[in-house]
Amino acid sequence: MIAVAALYQFTRFDDPEALKDPLLAACEAAGIKGTLLLAREGINGTIAGEAAALAAVLGHIRALPGCADLDVKFSDAPEMPFGKLKVRVKREIVTMGEPDIDPTLSAGTYVDPHDWNALIADPDTLVIDTRNDYEVAIGTFAGAVDPATPSFRDFPAWFRTHRAELLEGKKRVAMFCTGGIRCEKSTSFLRAEGIEEVFHLKGGILKYLEEVPAQQSLWRGECFVFDERVSLGHGLAQGNHTRCRPCGRPLPAGESCPVCEGDAAPQ
């Protein structure tokens, strides 16, 4: 089995360009593949390789400024789920387009996966899925609002447009995403918009699917992941989706794409 690590850390990198080449060299030396993004606000990515090699690279990352408590979600793959290695410097490690948002200064309250069901089942809680429309299409939590946004950059405008109707009769907001990183920004954004009672799922959907038994779960469907596995289910078992060849959208195995009518890529 190949070990897979989804990771992120919001921290201050004064010169992310200076971190790029040493990190790239560490990954290449260990035979790691996947994608790592560096920005002034921190690091984000998913990488895969043999367990010992992955541990060595994670050690390198944890030695970076502010990364000692790096947030990592582990899973397995029957074969390497990435075709190559990319280490890039970007403006943001997850693009929201709100330059004044800083999750290290103001973000929502973490909720443990085992406490999540009670929170989102409360009728006074507004539950929002912060992921992109194609991700939500294959799985989400029961009762969650789908913003139907094609990009995370669209989330602020969506919320500002629908704020009044969304918050009507609600006392608090709970949000979730794949691994937690988008919720760091979305909860920080809502707090900047004046909403105090904001919560997010610690470790994201991946940690919930890992820790919460299927028979107790409020999750419906599968969770899209940004690698060749395409989707994961409870226990982080590989799901039953593949990708459309032309547009890359996730599809149930054997189905054609409803958007571009393309065929599914072979599994």
CATH number given to 2-89: 3.30.70.100
The tokens 């992310």 sit on which residue?
16
Domain regions of the chain by residue span:
2-89, 109-219
pLDDT category at 262 given cuts 50, 70, 90 is low
Lookup: tokens for 66 = 């502010």
At 84-133, the pLDDT tens digits run 999 999 999 999 999 999 999 999 999 999 999 999 999 999 999 999 99
DSSP letter assigned to residue 145:
B
Residue 241 pLDDT greater than 80, yes or no = yes
Ordered strands of the 33-39 beta sheet: 71-77, 2-10, 42-49, 33-39, 85-89
- Tens-place pLDDT, residues 160-204: 999 999 999 999 999 999 999 999 999 999 999 999 999 999 999
Which residue out of 27, 177, 183, 223 is catalytically annotated?
177
Q: Let me know if 177 is a catalytic residue.
A: yes
Would you list the DSSP string of 118-134? Answer: HHHHSTTEEEEE-S-HH
Superfamily holding 109-219: Rhodanese-like domain (3.40.250.10)
- Eight-class DSSP state of 139: E
